[in-house]
Amino acid sequence: MNGWTWRHPTGRTLSAAVGVAALCAGARAGGSRSRLLWTCALLPDAALLYGIASAPTFDPLPRYAVRPYNVLHSPGIPLVLLGAARPLRSRELCAAGCGWLAHIGVDRAWGYGPRTADGSRR
């Protein structure tokens, strides 16, 4: 298996485990009713809302929404949040990063990875 892939059953299982673990950690850090946790768990799909304005479906996603979608669904953003949370001792940043990472993990567990340049799923 090459990295964190959503195309292989093992990668999808790993993604599901990451998603569930991140959600549990975020609930522990910020509380299960934390608005920040749940906002960040939903925030990556803002790119879908951005793209739906001109497309009746999410597949293919309009070309102008592909880059925002792929950036918001990159594990880099939540890892930066989690990396900043540690030295700053910020439970809020930890909850935000965990919520975001949980979203990405669950998406990949269901088979939703980055979009191609034309907006279709790989």
**Looking at the domain assignment, is residue 122 inside a domain?**
no
93-122 average pLDDT score: 93
Query: Is residue 51 in some structural domain?
Result: yes
Domain that holds residue 76: 9-109
According to the model, what pLDDT value does residue 1 have?
40
pLDDT interval class at 4 (50, 70, 90): low
What are the CA-CA distances from residue 43 to residues 49, 54, 57, 76 (Å)? Answer: 10, 20, 19, 15
Task: Tell me the HSE value of 54 on the side-chain side, using a 13 A CA sphere.
Answer: 10
| Residue 7, pLDDT score | 80
Distance between CA atoms of residues 44 and 31, nearest Å = 20
Ranked by mean pLDDT, which of 1-10, 52-61, 100-109 comes out on top?
100-109
Does residue 115 lie within any of the structural domains? no
Q: What is the pTM of this model?
A: 0.90
In a domain, residue 23? The reply is yes
Number of domain units in the chain: 1
pLDDT in tens, 32-90: 999 999 999 999 999 888 888 776 666 788 889 999 999 999 999 999 999 999 999 99
Please list, in sequence order, all residues whose beta carbon lies within 8 angstroms of the beta carbon of residue 49, skipping any fewer than 6 positions away: none
**Residue 3 domain flag:** no
For residue 8, name the pLDDT band (cuts at 50, 70, 90): confident
| pLDDT tens per residue, range 17-32 | 999 999 999 999 999 9
Q: Is residue 2 part of a domain?
A: no
Q: How far apart are CA 34 and CA 91, in angstroms?
A: 11
